[in-house]
Structure 1
Amino acid sequence: MNKIKVLIVDDSIFMRKALESLLSGEPDIEIVGLAKNGKEGVEMAEQFHPDVITMDIEMPTMDGITALEMIMKKNPTPVIMVSSLTKEGADATLKALDLGAVDFMTKDSQSFGGADIEKGLKDKIRKFARNKGVLRLFSHSSSSQSHQTPSYKLSGTLASHTPNVQTPFAHTAQSGNTDGSKRVVVNKTGIKRIVALGTSTGGPQSLQRVIPLLPADLGVPVVVTQHMPPNFTQSLASRLNTLSKVEVVEAQGKEKLEPNVVYIAKGGYHLKFKKVGPSVYTELSTEPSNVFNIPGVDVMVDSIAELYGKECLGVIMTGMGSDGCKGLTNLKRMGGTIIAQDEPTCIVYGMPRAVVEAGIADEIVPLDEIAARISYHVK
């Protein structure tokens, strides 16, 4: 059996040893190099041709962002960034994801020692190593962003740029089709008044290929749970807001849901909702606390489904695990419509797979068609 070759790049002796200790005990993983700065990382990547690289961001001699750019040009490799939990670390991480990094992990006291967290890292390394097609997806994302107008907003006024949104298609899905590689769409069964979207691994990059394509007059609010820690969701919301014609904010709680606004769940809190009179308001909560992901997609969808029922459109995108499946199953029972991202365009086909295999996906479509499908169902 060919072992997965991993290169660890970090200026911290503790982090290098911690990662080495965590991964070297796996029979299918081999640590091929330990680099203490970006320059050594670039050299070792060229020398050892690793399958996966873990890359620190802040390092002397050469930082992780510069090293990532060089590696993606010379020896394209799945790179997992290792970031601090600061706002600066969050901003740098999002930049790294734009440049082609496949995922990130945070430097905090919970990064090691937690069985679920450690297993998650190992699972990601295995998935990225065995699915080199993931680099094609990230290359697409990076190139499309580099040619995109930097901002749709000019001094608070919407710019005239109009995204190239494909004309929505509509035909009846064949019953029983659960192949995530096939396009399956349905005719609308009523206008939706809200969109609930969940995503995880690969989500920050993928959201940049959905939210900026939503029209300024979408007409409904969009609520989003992306598995991310505090600070990261604020940076993600700010980044998406500069790229989009709709307004994108990090939910703070007690906000009235408004049309043409995207609310990103705040890291460390579940995004819930409360109806007061005719209006619906956001709520932040740490309960339930006995779930792996906070914010959680299931929690958000369950909360919004109680208020909107069949008038809610659920969307599930790239991510590991099955978060969202339970909530979307409940939404489906209430008559809601479910869109799942297809397998070929997912960075990790986990969360959409769970929904597709549960038989509750009304539509299975490529990433770059999700925005058009959302527009179709809400207009």
Structure 2
Amino acid sequence: MSIRIVIVEDSPTMRAILMSRLSSEPDIEVVATAANAAEGRELIRQFDPDVVTLDIEMPGMNGLDFLDKIMALRPTPVIIISGSTQEGAATTAEALARGAVSCYAKGQGANAFGSDGKLAALIREAAQVTFTKPVSRAATPPASSSAAPAHTGAAPKLVAIGASTGGVEALHSVLSAFPANCPPTVVVQHVNARFAPSIALSLDRACAPRVLLAEPDLPLRAGHVYLAPGDERHLTVGGTGGQFHARLRAGPRIAGHLPSVDALFFSVAERIGAEAAGILLTGMGADGAEGLLALHRAGAFTIAQDEASCTVFGMPRAAIALGAARVVAPLETISSQLFRLAA
């Protein structure tokens, strides 16, 4: 069965290029195109598509308000299509925080949507998203657990977080509950490098700790959250004896990703071990599952987001299946679970 798409894009040229590009995919069907929000709203109501692509920078409309209406009235996976402007990147970061599942950075002219299949891959991921109302409940231990040292119960010296599809919204939820003096926190979120600075700024405005992009050899300090810049380099942690720093290095993709959550988690397991904490949030695939298991085996406190609150349960599911999570928690309780250690 084909994935049914509605395209919302004000430029006739871009609509034609995008429709042509997606129509060449055997499993994707463009059922309608819209030039503005009003048309888009009617077509979404009429066709009930599997995925909507939304140009967030269309003139004469507020793309964020339109996204809010989609999510409130007919929740549908939305992929934000953004140009190269700084304003567009900032709006895209805000859209991801409001529930858009992914974003795509378009180029110029006939090459706006490339030929590398990345947009089609994002659409296939988005089509697997189902929106359900999270049910509040207590966190639970996983059904099975690999052998690991008993956790000491002490506050972690460093927190490592991994996320992918739907992760920006999840990060806002988790990090907004972090105290201003939180342990150094390092985050890998799968996202195009064009949007990483705006996502860091959006999180910084919403959270008590300082949120910034990681830089090579940057000392990791309490009260700070460091986001991977997403520029084809792995983010890992170096240092010993409580003096840790960020490392950014080129290398092969791990679990299909660069940067990779696994790369971050493995480095934290090796350098910090039982004195660390690891959190794996929503995302497609299995990146982070093996790394969370390494943290678990090193004695670190590990948390996986539960299925009901995930946009996509792939990464947490893979970790839980390995027995890597000490706790499986709804999104809204993850921070409280973590900082119970500090109490």
User: Quick check: TM above 0.5?
Assistant: yes
Q: CA 1:325–1:291 in structure 2 vs 1: closer, same or farther (change >3 Å)?
A: closer
Query: 1:9 Cα deviation (Å)?
Result: 1.4
| Corresponding residue for residue 297 of structure 1 | 261
Q: Does 1:349 align with 2:313?
A: yes
Query: 1:222 Cα deviation (Å)?
Result: 1.1
Q: Does 1:223 align with 2:186?
A: yes
| Corresponding residue for residue 113 of structure 1 | 115
| Corresponding residue for residue 245 of structure 2 | 281
| Corresponding residue for residue 263 of structure 1 | 226
- Secondary structure of the 1:7 match is strand
State which of 240, 261, 268 in structure 1 corresponds to 2:203. 240
Displaced runs of 4 or more, over 6 A: none
TM-score (norm 2): 0.85
Query: 1:22 Cα deviation (Å)?
Result: 4.7
- Secondary structure of the 1:209 match is helix
| Corresponding residue for residue 94 of structure 2 | 95
Q: CA 1:374–1:228 in structure 2 vs 1: closer, same or farther (change >3 Å)?
A: same
Query: 1:290 Cα deviation (Å)?
Result: 6.8
Structure-1 separation of matches of 2:242 and 2:299: 21
Q: CA 1:377–1:170 in structure 2 vs 1: closer, same or farther (change >3 Å)?
A: farther
Structure-2 separation of matches of 1:107 and 1:289: 23
Aligned residue runs from structure 1 range 8-19, under 5 A = 8-13=7-12, 15-19=14-18
Q: Does 1:335 align with 2:293?
A: no
Query: 1:239 Cα deviation (Å)?
Result: 1.6
Between the two proteins, what is the percent identity of the paired residues? Answer: 39
Deviates more, 1:14-23 or 1:311-320: 14-23
Q: Does 1:193 align with 2:157?
A: yes
Q: Does 1:372 align with 2:336?
A: yes
Structure-1 separation of matches of 2:229 and 2:142: 38
| Corresponding residue for residue 125 of structure 2 | 124
Query: 1:58 Cα deviation (Å)?
Result: 1.9
Q: Does 1:84 align with 2:87?
A: no
Structure-2 separation of matches of 1:61 and 1:278: 52
State which of 213, 216, 227 in structure 2 corresponds to 1:250. 213
Query: 1:276 Cα deviation (Å)?
Result: 6.7
Q: CA 1:366–1:39 in structure 2 vs 1: closer, same or farther (change >3 Å)?
A: same
Q: CA 1:265–1:357 in structure 2 vs 1: closer, same or farther (change >3 Å)?
A: same
Residue type at the aligned position of 1:305: A
Structure-1 separation of matches of 2:241 and 2:191: 32
Q: Does 1:58 align with 2:38?
A: no
- Secondary structure of the 2:285 match is coil
TM-score (norm 1): 0.78
Does the CA-based 8 Å contact 1:9-1:38 persist in structure 2? yes
Q: CA 1:267–1:4 in structure 2 vs 1: closer, same or farther (change >3 Å)?
A: closer
- Secondary structure of the 2:211 match is strand
Q: CA 1:245–1:62 in structure 2 vs 1: closer, same or farther (change >3 Å)?
A: closer
- Secondary structure of the 2:127 match is helix
Structure-2 separation of matches of 1:5 and 1:31: 6
Q: CA 1:177–1:278 in structure 2 vs 1: closer, same or farther (change >3 Å)?
A: closer
Residue type at the aligned position of 2:55: D
Does the CA-based 8 Å contact 2:215-2:248 persist in structure 1? yes
Q: Does 1:176 align with 2:144?
A: yes
Gaps of 5+ in 1: 141-165, 179-186
State which of 169, 182, 201 in structure 2 corresponds to 1:205. 169
Q: Does 1:307 align with 2:271?
A: yes
RMSD over aligned CA atoms reads 3.1
Does the CA-based 8 Å contact 2:151-2:300 persist in structure 1? no
Does the CA-based 8 Å contact 2:97-2:172 persist in structure 1? no
Query: 1:95 Cα deviation (Å)?
Result: 2.2
Query: 1:298 Cα deviation (Å)?
Result: 1.0
Gaps of 5+ in 2: none
Query: 1:15 Cα deviation (Å)?
Result: 4.1
Does the CA-based 8 Å contact 1:39-1:62 persist in structure 2? no
- Secondary structure of the 1:92 match is helix
Query: 1:253 Cα deviation (Å)?
Result: 2.2
Structure-2 separation of matches of 1:278 and 1:99: 36
Q: CA 1:190–1:6 in structure 2 vs 1: closer, same or farther (change >3 Å)?
A: same
Q: CA 1:346–1:10 in structure 2 vs 1: closer, same or farther (change >3 Å)?
A: same
Structure-2 separation of matches of 1:228 and 1:322: 16
Does the CA-based 8 Å contact 1:200-1:318 persist in structure 2? yes
Structure-2 separation of matches of 1:15 and 1:301: 40
Q: CA 1:189–1:258 in structure 2 vs 1: closer, same or farther (change >3 Å)?
A: same
Does the CA-based 8 Å contact 1:85-1:229 persist in structure 2? no
Q: CA 1:12–1:286 in structure 2 vs 1: closer, same or farther (change >3 Å)?
A: farther
Does the CA-based 8 Å contact 1:16-1:34 persist in structure 2? yes
- Matched residue pairs, number? 336
